[in-house]
Amino acid sequence: MNFSIYDLTSFTQWFDKLLYDNMPAFWAVTIEMVVIGLLVLLFYALIGLFLVYAERKVCAFMQNRVGPNRVGPYGFFQTIADLIKLLLKELVYIKNADKLLFNIAPFIVICASFMAIAAIPFAKGLHAIDFDIGVLYVIAVSSLGVIGVLLAGWSSNNKYSLIGAMRSGAQIVSYELSVGLSLLTIIVLAGTMQFSAIVEGQETGWFIFKGHIPAFIAFVIFLIASTAETNRGPFDLAEAESELTAGFHTEYSGIKFAFFFLAEYMNMFIVASIAATVFLGGWMPFHIGGWEGFNHIMDFIPPFIWYIGKTFFVIWLMMWFKWTFPRLRIDQLLTLEWKYLLPINLVNILIMAFVVLMGWHF
């Protein structure tokens, strides 16, 4: 069978057929789950390590300094050294903490991001599961992370942790509305919640262009709201060092702290992936109507390269936000959502519905 880096459907179908032809269905499904789980775990770890390094380098560039430059070439192995340090650090047990909830909280946070990443299409034919309600699924499972945050703050028996957790809970629940409504704007345009169908619907043009001004407004609101939902600056009130030390994970150390740290970066990667998939065409090349020669050249670039390039572009925008704007106060943060972003989003959905009804989109 011929395999192609431009369409991995044939490879995944061949692997599935190979297993089912040579063993019982139960073991075939089990092996597929184990293989996919290990691949996601490996990808998760590599992307997490890379994003920590990228954050430091982008921060250094913004602040006109060097960044990591000692461990390995250009400081590339600095994050690996930090990982080893976190793995070897002692787990400090808090005397009056609720031990069960204190230990469970980091796993809830990291499992929520694991579940969300499963539905994202990385390339043509390359996604763990392709739900017909993929957008709804991702919104649902990613919102579970707030439970881990609230449990971490409450079970630590620390007033700083509790205040940080309450801030984070209010922030995440508030901004989830704007994230969901901005995605709903594009669902109205696409006519489906299935990620693969949304990507295929952008073959003749990405939705950020096809949907005119409402799609662009939805993209901007999604960027702002998802940055806030992932507790990243300038919306990192839950971890305001000058007020709350480290916020909800003040009492965590070692591998448990590493779980929270890694989950933050992976959540950033997930929301950037969703933005790239829904607004920027996912793995779909950049095409211009009538420019057949240009479109043919764009088709030579493998789909995974398109996907990862768009995702890292959105991540760079989110890092740019963090290292450019000062941190907001908690009242300013909630005012921005409830008095500005939410009303704009509601009006924007109505405009998009009217545009689709009149057939004014490309």
Measured over the CA atoms of residue 317, residue 315, residue 168 and residue 88, the dihedral's sign is negative
Assess if residue 80 is contained within a domain: no
Assess if residue 350 is contained within a domain: yes
Q: Is 64 left (phi over 0), alpha (psi -120 to 50) or beta?
A: left
Q: Quick one: pLDDT at residue 234?
A: 80
Q: CA 165, 171, 172, 178: dihedral to nearest 10 degrees?
A: 180
Instruction: Give me the number of domains the chain comprises.
Output: 1
Query: Going residue by residue through the chain (362 aa), what tens digit of pLDDT does each one get?
Result: 455 667 778 888 888 888 888 888 888 888 988 988 898 888 888 898 899 899 888 889 888 888 888 888 888 888 888 888 888 887 877 778 788 888 898 899 888 888 888 888 888 878 888 888 889 999 888 888 888 888 888 888 888 888 888 888 888 888 889 999 999 999 999 888 888 889 888 887 788 888 888 999 999 999 999 988 887 878 777 666 555 566 777 788 888 888 888 888 888 999 999 999 999 888 888 877 677 778 788 888 888 889 999 999 999 998 888 888 888 887 888 888 899 999 999 999 999 999 888 877 66
Half-sphere exposure of 256 (CA within 13 A, CB side): 22
Report CA 110 to chain centroid distance, whole Å: 12
Q: CA 262, 266, 267, 271: dihedral to nearest 10 degrees?
A: 160
Assess if residue 48 is contained within a domain: no
Q: Quick one: pLDDT at residue 59?
A: 87
Q: Quick one: pLDDT at residue 309?
A: 92
**What is the C-alpha to C-alpha distance for residues 149 and 216, in angstroms, rounded to an integer?**
32
Assess if residue 220 is contained within a domain: yes
Between the alpha carbon of residue 17 and those of residues 20, 32, 34, 181, 294, the distances in Å are 5, 11, 16, 40, 37
**DSSP secondary structure letters along 78-138:** HHHHHHHHHHHS--PPPTTS-HHHHHHHHHHHHHHHHHHHTT---BTTB-S---TTHHHHH
| 3-state class (DSSP) for residue 7 | strand
Assess if residue 84 is contained within a domain: no
Q: Quick one: pLDDT at residue 298?
A: 83
Q: What is the pLDDT of residues 271-285, one digit of tens each?
A: 999 999 999 888 888
Cα angle value 134/314/66 (rounded, 5°): 140
Q: Quick one: pLDDT at residue 221?
A: 93
Residue 322 sits in which domain range?
Answer: 99-358
Assess if residue 174 is contained within a domain: yes
Q: Quick one: pLDDT at residue 144?
A: 87
**What is the C-alpha to C-alpha distance for residues 143 and 140, in angstroms, rounded to an integer?**
5
Q: CA 100, 104, 105, 106: dihedral to nearest 10 degrees?
A: 140
Assess if residue 86 is contained within a domain: no
Token pair for 135 = 């957008």
Cα angle value 262/107/231 (rounded, 5°): 45
For residue 33, give the nearest of 126, 118, 140 by alpha carbon.
118
Assess if residue 19 is contained within a domain: no
The whole model's pTM is what?
A: 0.89
Token pair for 138 = 């991702």
Contact 92, 251 (CB under 8 A): yes
Token pair for 178 = 């704007």
Contact 18, 1 (CB under 8 A): no
